[in-house]
Amino acid sequence: MLSVINYIDTSFYNIYTIESTKLCVDENRFLLYSDSSNDKFYILDDRVPDITQFHAIWLRRVTVNIDADQAMSAERKEWLAGETRHGLTGTLMALYACRPPTQRWMNSPSANLLSEHKLYQLQLAKKYWNIPKTYYTNSHKLFWNMLQKETVTSEYITKSLFRGFFLENNEVRVIYTNNITVPLLAGNHDADIDNYPSLIQESIAKKFEVRATVVADKVYAVAIHSQESLTTQIDWRRYDLPNTPHELIQLPQSVEQACIQYCKELGLIYGAIDFIVDKNDSYWFLEINPKGQWLWLEDLTGAPISKAIAEYLCG
């Protein structure tokens, strides 16, 4: 956020940063007022002006924390969290629906929500790129039976479908991409984990990987040479930056234009797209994150992503 603000003329623009995690705790509150002739949205006890008057809105992260009585039952807390999350999301959608014609959003609330669904992303991506064979199941036995009817790939990967981390005993646990093999699948299709859903894809041999960051009609692509470090060969998010070269590259024109068109189809102004480039220089789509990180790419390669975001918001 600060890297973007550095490119904004604060003598011309007033900037309000609102942490959604604080909207439902302490003394901070939000209010939506709407009737047949009027819509107003106030936030933080109306100390911030009516947001319908803002020039641009950037939904960087929207997370809800609940300030609930510790004596409240778990069931009631779950209900309260759901009501609050649904209400805040609905409020943002209502705000987007009544936005002035000139107000810029990065991205719309509905586009963010829809494009976070990996299976939906993959279905749309088929029109533009190769995608790995993909299976989503809560039955490893059913998956194994299906493999018997197909040309069996020797290796697969599994990864999270939605959120790649969770909090356990006050520590953040990250769910990385991991390899699984056909023999392992054959021996474990009746395992206890059978009740849990799994996203499984064929493993694509990598030459290198690419993070393509789209900002409106601009694309900033960085090659991540993940195969040069044993730590990052399966998942570069295991981070071994000193031994994983990052390189600002120019995408093939067809791939670059497809990135822009794909984001438009998803309704996104901003999107971070991950690819595998195979030994034949073919691009394989993995996923898109509508709120993906970019600053480490900027620090390592000089890609002017923060500047592009600022220019869009101020345009």
Q: What is the pLDDT of residues 266-306, one digit of tens each?
A: 999 999 999 999 999 999 999 999 999 999 999 999 999 99
Q: pLDDT value at position 254? A: 97
- pTM reported for the whole predicted model: 0.88
Q: Is the pLDDT of residue 21 over 70?
A: no
Whether residues 224 and 181 share a domain: the answer is no
In a domain, 113, yes or no: no
Whether residues 221 and 179 share a domain: the answer is no
| Residue 86 to residue 81: CA distance in whole angstroms | 8
* 23 contacts 43 by C-beta, under 8 angstroms: yes
Whether residues 217 and 307 share a domain: the answer is yes
* 173 contacts 166 by C-beta, under 8 angstroms: yes
Residue 242 — pLDDT band, cuts 50, 70, 90? very high
| Residue 106 to residue 313: CA distance in whole angstroms | 8
Q: Looking at residue 246, which CATH number applies to its domain?
A: 3.30.470.20
User: Hey, which residues does 305 pair with through a beta bridge?
Assistant: none
Count of domains forming the chain: 3
Residue 163 has which token pair?
A: 């959120």
Residue 198 — pLDDT band, cuts 50, 70, 90? confident
Rounded mean pLDDT of 164-190?
72
Lowest mean pLDDT segment, chosen from 64-73, 86-95, 220-229, 295-304: 64-73
Look at residues 202, 230, 262 and tell me which one is the last residue of a structural domain: 202
| Amino acid code (one letter) for 104 | R
* 16 contacts 76 by C-beta, under 8 angstroms: no
Residue 48 has which token pair?
A: 């911030």
What range defines the domain where residue 154 resides?
Answer: 133-202
Nearest to 103 by CA among 168, 137, 53: 53
Whether residues 86 and 152 share a domain: the answer is no
Rounded mean pLDDT of 6-34?
71
CA distances for 15 relative to 18, 55, 58, 211, 289, angstroms = 10, 10, 11, 29, 25
Q: What are phi and psi of 188, to 5 degrees?
A: -120, 10
The pLDDT tens digits of the residues spanning 146-170 come to 777 776 667 888 888 887 777 777 7
Whether residues 8 and 85 share a domain: the answer is yes
Whether residues 215 and 196 share a domain: the answer is no
In a domain, 111, yes or no: no
Q: Is the pLDDT of residue 41 over 70?
A: no
